[in-house]
């Protein structure tokens, strides 16, 4: 749900790739918000735009305004990041035991694929996605309607593709204590493999769990939470805040609002395919390998 409202009428403007990204993702320029420099290249003649009816529908703008306002207030008030103290004991054990990667759970044509930063210590130790004791992911997923009335936990991640058409991956597979232990270079290096996963498995929506994940993937630094105006192939892109309990700028209620909005967007895509016109689909440049 991209809520930007600036206009950019230059439909044919090409945004060149930054060095190293190899132009694998088509350009994120469109006739909604003004185009900003990114790693992505817009195909010549493409007319990428936000569906204005979508922007105004079902209180989407109000949801984003509320979440953004609440987050701003919390940033002003908080004096320190809330730490997951239970992970300290696990962290001490990792001085002896190497951290293990958590496997992807992907199948073709899923409804949603969630992409996080990388596995944390508790996820690595338990062998499941979003397994931190203070992580809000599974609560938000259970209460969003994306899994019906089922209450799911991290132990259910492996069955989510078959039972709920939901998959999991990360932009970096290497486990760390927290996402702050990852460099932007390492996350950006994960963009190409993630792009390949999206184009191979073709989910209806790829949901980035954490603004930093989408920043590393797209090269964009300024964007709103929610549905983005851009697509990769036929896959819509959606951004929610990190669900880690350490991210205190957004409350669990704020995160849940965006998960419910994801459900609404998915339902609309499934029902009508009307969120984007054919011209809005971004394609990989065929000849640009720079």
Catalytic residue list: 118, 129
Closest CA to 248 of 2, 84, 64: 84
Distances (CA, A) of 145 to 29, 201, 217: 32, 23, 27
Q: What are phi and psi of 62, to 5 degrees?
A: -65, -40
DSSP 4-50: -------TT---PPPTTSTT-SB----SSSPP---S-BPPTT-----
- State the Cα–Cα distance between residues 139 and 142, nearest whole angstrom: 5
- State the Cα–Cα distance between residues 224 and 132, nearest whole angstrom: 26
- State the Cα–Cα distance between residues 115 and 251, nearest whole angstrom: 20
Instruction: Find out whether 2 and 8 touch, Cβ atoms under 8 Å.
Output: no
Task: Say how many residues make up the chain.
Answer: 290
**DSSP character at residue 154:** G
> CA neighbours within 13 Å on the CB side: how many for 68?
14
């Amino acid at each position: 749900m991209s809520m930007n409202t600036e206009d950019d009428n230059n439909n044919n403007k090409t945004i060149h790739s930054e060095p190293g990204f190899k132009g694998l993702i088509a350009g994120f320029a469109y006739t909604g918000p003004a185009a900003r420099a990114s790693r992505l290249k817009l195909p010549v003649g493409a007319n990428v735009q936000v569906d204005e009816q979508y922007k105004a529908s079902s209180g989407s703008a109000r949801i984003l305004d509320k979440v953004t306002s609440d987050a701003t207030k919390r940033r002003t008030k908080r004096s320190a990041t809330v730490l997951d103290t239970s992970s300290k004991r696990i962290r001490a054990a990792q001085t002896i035991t190497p951290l293990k990667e958590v496997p992807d759970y992907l199948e073709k044509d899923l409804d949603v694929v969630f992409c996080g930063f990388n596995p944390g210590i508790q996820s690595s130790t338990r062998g499941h996605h979003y397994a931190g004791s203070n992580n809000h992911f599974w609560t938000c997923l259970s209460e969003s309607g994306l899994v019906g009335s089922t209450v799911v936990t991290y132990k259910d991640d492996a069955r989510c593709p078959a039972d709920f058409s939901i998959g999991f991956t990360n932009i970096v597979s290497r486990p760390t204590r927290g996402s702050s232990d990852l460099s932007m270079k390492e996350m950006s290096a994960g963009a190409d493999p993630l792009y390949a996963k999206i184009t191979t498995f073709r989910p209806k929506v790829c949901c980035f769990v954490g603004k930093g994940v989408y920043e590393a993937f797209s090269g964009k630094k300024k964007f709103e939470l929610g549905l983005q105006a851009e697509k990769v192939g036929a896959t819509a892109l959606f951004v929610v805040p990190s669900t880690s309990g350490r991210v205190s700028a957004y409350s669990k209620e704020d995160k849940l609002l965006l998960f419910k909005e994801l459900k609404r967007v998915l339902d609309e895509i499934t029902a009508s395919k009307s969120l984007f016109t054919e011209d809005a689909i971004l394609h990989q440049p065929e000849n640009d390998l720079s």
